[in-house]
Structure 1
Amino acid sequence: MAQQQPQTGPAGATGHPDGPASAPDLPPRVATVYGAYDLATVPAFAGGFINFGYWAGLGDLTGRPLTEADRVRSEQDLYRLVLGTFDGVRGHSALEAGCGRGLGCALALREFGLDPVIGLDAHPDQIARARAAHVQLLAGGAGGSGRLTFVLGSAQRMPLPRETFDCLYSVEAVQHFRAPAAFAREAARVLRPGGRLALTTFFARTPAAARELPGLLPPYADGLDVPHVIDEFAGTLAAAGLRDVMVRPIGEAVWEPYDRYMAQQPELADDEWPRRYLTAYQAGLLDYYLLTAVR
């Protein structure tokens, strides 16, 4: 497939069929958590990544403390799990929806050979952090190689041209999206025919579970996250024209080791709610999933 860079204007955001897109409006809690609070600096999210982690590659964890190095490896391995669904794509273009500080974009370049990679995020502070952290890889940056670009914009109205990317991936960002059907339509629009989608995050298992989760987990109650239902979300991908939608639960390699790591964090002594994710998983309310599809 022929490669090309997305065509972006002076503000880094053109190409949407409805015209230029401005900086997206963010839900207040999302704006705060990823802005002034800077969630990536919280010890629970070591290394600058922001995800629960995929722990299966760390070997037998029985009987030993989980270290910060383990935590960072788990977060990197979640990216590796997602990106590993893209076979034979070295030198092909990729878009990360919800790129945060861009660490996953750099990993995609370094380990998987996706090139160029565009990181899209709706929070201007995250885009600024990503650009500052990856100057040597940036298109147009001082000494940059042009392999990486960061674009401010919503994953539900992507400021990018149609049929631009061979691969689109997202790691623990979809739970923030208010309009998953819009994201699915945009994914289908910006992917080339035959392009592939892979994403991972946590979903409610049923509509009844989605109604119950805000009473258990504050991020659902305060507007940070939305309890999307897994079957409904998979259906939105298919309805947008994506085919071969596959859903794989991976919670067995996420929730228990994450909870063990969190149990060792002293800051949780007076604030135990982050450990309720394991409770919700064991109660059958939510799980972590890997989804793939083809344009």
Structure 2
Amino acid sequence: MEYTWINSESDQTIKKILLANGISQRLLSQIRRGEGDLLVGEKYRKLTTMVAHGQAVTLRLPDENNEEIAIAHGTLTILYEDSNWLIVDKKAGMTTVPGPSNRETTLVNYVKGYLFDSGATDLVPHIITRLDRFTSGIVLIAKNRIAQGMIEKVEYKNFEKYYLAVVEGDLPSEHALINKPIGKRDANIRREVMATGQSAVTEYWVKKRLGNNSLVLVKLHTGRTHQIRVHFSEIGFPLLGDKLYDGNIEKIARQALHAFKLKFLDPFTKKYIEVECGLPEDMQCLLEK
């Protein structure tokens, strides 16, 4: 894998050029350890090498492959793809990354299989927007570590993440902002609102009133674990099917939460990529009852 940038400024070091183009400090550290090559023209250089205006700098990295991640083959619903990004619709019930209880049939395994079949030489999918196992919808994946490092430097304001959720009860406001810090106690998987927690802001709009329930469009302004689930439970309107946060489990077998829309600034092209993903069947059924 290699990328080339032209120095559009006055003379400066390779390090400054790479930083200005979004390369992360973590990747710079890997380069210092010899995990990659830097070239100006055809000559190998160091991060401290000065580069003149108009000269090209090339970063060349070895291909990635983690042998501990098994290749699996299955159906992927691809919403967008280019040389750096893969955006897929994850089905509810699919684990995103391998763990002790599942190392072979997660989303990462299937994406690795897809990349392998496509002839890719970088075979480590980097999950950028991870979803809980029983949350469905959009997942953004970086195809290589350069893309991963660059997207992690994109400011949160240049990421827009929208979800659709069905909550218990008839929300009193058509539109509101929930601004309550979230943390966790000890090793408990459950999060909760607490004064010592991290800042967490969730915005919502009621899209449809369903008798005793409400369909809401939710925008995340921060990215805390279980943020939507915690916030709606805290205000007395838990998500349907969300057993962990006291939601009614009679109408749907998992939390009624779907990652519906993603918009983000592509650090390579400086243009926005935007995708949407329709509701899965189990949540559609809730709207018809």
Return the TM-score normalized by structure 2. Answer: 0.27
The structure with the greater share of residues assigned to strand is: 2
State which structure, 1 or 2, has the greater radius of gyration over its C-alpha atoms.
2
Higher RCO structure (Cα 8 Å, ≥6 apart): 1
Q: TM-score, normalised by structure 1?
A: 0.26
